[in-house]
Structure 1
Amino acid sequence: MDAGRYVDADGVPWYVCRNLNLSGCTWLTAEDGGQCEACDLTRTRPNDADVVGLVNFLPSERAKRHLLAELDILGFPVVNKADDSVNGLCFDLLSSVAEDVITGHAEGVVTIDLAEADNAHREQVKSQLNEVYRTMLGHFRHEVGHYMEWQLVENGGDDVLARARELFRDETVDYQETIDRHYREGPPEGWEESYISAYATMHPYEDFAETWAHYLHICDTIQTCVEFGLVAEDTVTVDGPFRDLVTGVWMPQTTALNMVNRSMGKDDLYPFVIPAPVLDKLEFVASLRPAA
């Protein structure tokens, strides 16, 4: 093995991504001096003179790679927008040093405000919005949830779309109007009985994206617990109803992890309650996973 060059079991050479020193990327590429598939998905990044933006770029790319690895493990295909200009996905990771940046998704373009990678800034926003959870990985999971709804639900056939509307409501309602009402009036009374978060109440799109993000939270954390022996592997099945995994494994596990955090004087690791309607929504999201 030469420095930066690896040969796999089939004798195929692979090279360290050229962005190792820029974003800490450790993924491999088939071309010497090239960049990996994960880095290819970033359409826009801070310029080399933007010191603050580049500092925040590194943890943002790390979160993005984490997301992409999980999607690959779960079997969700990701197509680069450079290869499919209509249905593909790409990321604009923008620095808000000199301009305002709004995190969001539009037609396969996920925009992320890199300032969210700064712990102090993110905690300040979290406090201002009275949120219980706010992370860079959470942002990536949520925004890609919008992309997946577009691809797997809105383009998934009449039956899939009809079921989504039963669970999440009609996504054609005016988005701006519902967002304005939310920030003016707050979430509806009793929202905890049907939604995973207050943010999910704003619009059906946000309800789906929040549920999708929690589906990934659950899958990833359970996998980690299995790898470290905190959950017995034979108790985790991907073939049965996802709701059984949530009630039988996830809920007891997060109760224990929350108590561990409290023992250290920290906030709960998973500060959410999953009511029955959210179980139905999680089951639906899990059903979108492609067959193995």
Structure 2
Amino acid sequence: MKAFRCRVCDNPLYFENSVCVSCGSSLGFSREERAIVPVDENGRYVDASGAGWFVCASLNLSGCTWLTPVQGGLCSCCRLTRTRPSDDDVEGLENFPAAEQAKRHLVFELDTLGFPVIGKDQDEVNGLAFDLLSSVEENVVIGHENGVITIDLAESDDAYREKVRAQLAEPYRTMLGHFRHEVGHYYEWQLVQGDERFNRCRELFGDESKDYQAEIDRHYEEGPPAGWEEEYISTYATMHPFEDFAETWAHYLHICDTIESAGEYGLTAVSSPRLFSNFRDLVVGVWVPLSIALNMINRSMGKEDLYPFVIPAPVLDKLDFVASLAADPQDG
């Protein structure tokens, strides 16, 4: 994440700030400028070309500060949400802002890395959409299908999410992690096309034609195979080639975003992961020593490791493949 500063007083800002705590200026996020900008009392910002922009209509509902060219309209990120809790679902609406915040973080990073973010309002067949559902009155299964990502808003609650994490014996579980994993399924669907990419993907991750439900049943009945640590980033990645790809994709985003944030705040000399033509070199030369240091800092505060994972050589190859999907000019 970038280190943002107020254009009025130069005070440091967080990505989510709607007001500068130093000078009191109202703020909005310009996706076009990739910057937090001051807005007037009507929530309006005028860019260098003279065009007017307005703070998203979801500001009070989800805390969104992103700008839209239509006064009273939704920003490009909020328009990706196809379904949200009903107005009478108090618990669902309480959990909604945390999910939307994670989604904005995800979209910002996808923009940074050069992945196209096209909503179903623009491309009904191949576009992306999110159903952010409340499990208060119905069972919600987190997943992806044909460009629609479903997220259970109950995962916004720290106590609930920790309970599930412990039940599944997972080392890591966050709302942002869910978004990163599920969008990995979407981009595999969209970007792993053509014989060369498809064959390389199958070589690395396995035969995706395996019966998915049968593999799920096997995983939960038998657990991960012995020695899984030598080829996979997590036990969940052992379930099916689709899940291995999505887990690897999520870690690619974890690594890129954390390195960029560390660079912005002077913790590493690397300003952008995309400066490395070989992602393996970035992981070995920058990420491994940085993550060890961050883990030790967390331990110094009595916290769990920030990055409780080990990356074996086969996963480095998989990460390289995922990174190549953004680098190829054919992806626009």
Q: Which secondary structure state, in structure 2, belongs to the residue aligned with residue 112 of structure 1?
A: strand
Match of 2:320 among 283, 286, 290: 283
Counterpart in the other structure of 1:181: 218
Match of 1:35 in 2: 74
Between the aligned partners of 1:240 and 1:140, the Cα distance in structure 2 is 26
Note if 1:256 corresponds to 2:296: no
When residues 235 and 63 of structure 1 are mapped into structure 2, their CA distance, relative to the original with a 3 A threshold, is closer
| 1:116 matched to 2:155 | yes
Query: How do 1:110-189 and structure 2 match up within 5 A?
Result: 110-153=149-192, 156-189=193-226
Q: CA deviation at 1:71?
A: 0.3
CA apart distance, 1:236: 5.6
CA deviations 1:54-106 (Å, max 9, x no partner) are: 01000000000000000001110011112211111100000000010000000
- Determine if contact 2:113/2:274 at 8 Å carries over to the other structure: no
The answer to whether the Cα contact below 8 Å between 1:258 and 1:270 also exists between their aligned partners in 2 is: yes
Distance 1:54 1:235, change over 3 A: closer
1:100 aligns with 2:139: yes
For residues 133 and 234 of structure 1, do their structure 2 counterparts lie closer, same or farther at Cα, with a shift above 3 Å needed?
closer
Asked if 1:266 corresponds to 2:315, the answer is no
Contact 2:263–2:272 (CA<8 Å) still a contact in 1?
A: no
Unaligned runs of 5+ in 2: 1-38
Number of positions where the alignment pairs a residue of Structure 1 with one of Structure 2? 290
Q: CA RMSD in A?
A: 1.2
How far off its partner does 1:231 sit? 0.3
Relative to the length of structure 1, the TM-score reads 0.97
- Residue of structure 2 equivalent to 1:68: 107
* Greater helix share, structure number: 1
Change (3 A) 1:122 1:228: same
Name the residue aligned to 1:48. Answer: 87
Q: Distance in 1 between matches of 2:183 and 2:275?
A: 22
Partner Cα distance (2:273, 2:142) in 1 = 34
Percent of aligned pairs sharing the same letter: 69
Structure 2 residue 57 is matched with structure 1 residue 2: no
Matched residues in 2 for 1:197 and 1:114: separation? Answer: 24
Q: What code does the residue aligned with 1:248 have?
A: G
2:296 counterpart SS class: helix
Shift of residue 239 of structure 1? 3.8
TM-score (norm 2): 0.86
Aligned partners of 1:279, 1:189: CA distance in 2, in Å? 20
Structure 2 CA distance for aligned equivalents of residues 11 and 235 of structure 1: 31
Question: Partners of 1:233 and 1:152 in 2: how far apart?
Answer: 27
The 1-side partners of 2:117 and 2:180 are apart by 13
Contact between 2:263 and 2:271, CA under 8 Å: does it hold in 1?
Answer: no
Q: Counterpart of 1:6 in 2: which secondary structure?
A: strand
State the secondary structure of the residue aligned to 1:233. coil
Partner of 1:233: 270
Q: Which residue is equivalent to 1:89?
A: 128
Deviation by residue 1:212-266 (Cα, 9 ceiling, x = unmatched): 0000000000000000000013796624200000000000000000001111111
Deviation at 1:12, TM superposition (A): 1.1
In the TM superposition, what is the alpha-carbon distance from 1:2 to its structure 2 partner?
Answer: 2.6
Q: Is the 8 A contact 1:235 1:249 kept in 2?
A: no
C-alpha distance in structure 1 between counterparts of 2:217 and 2:262, whole Å: 40
Counterparts of 2:182 and 2:246, CA distance in 1: 7
Q: C-alpha separation between the residues in 2 aligned to 1:238 and 1:147?
A: 25
Unaligned runs of 5+ in 1: none
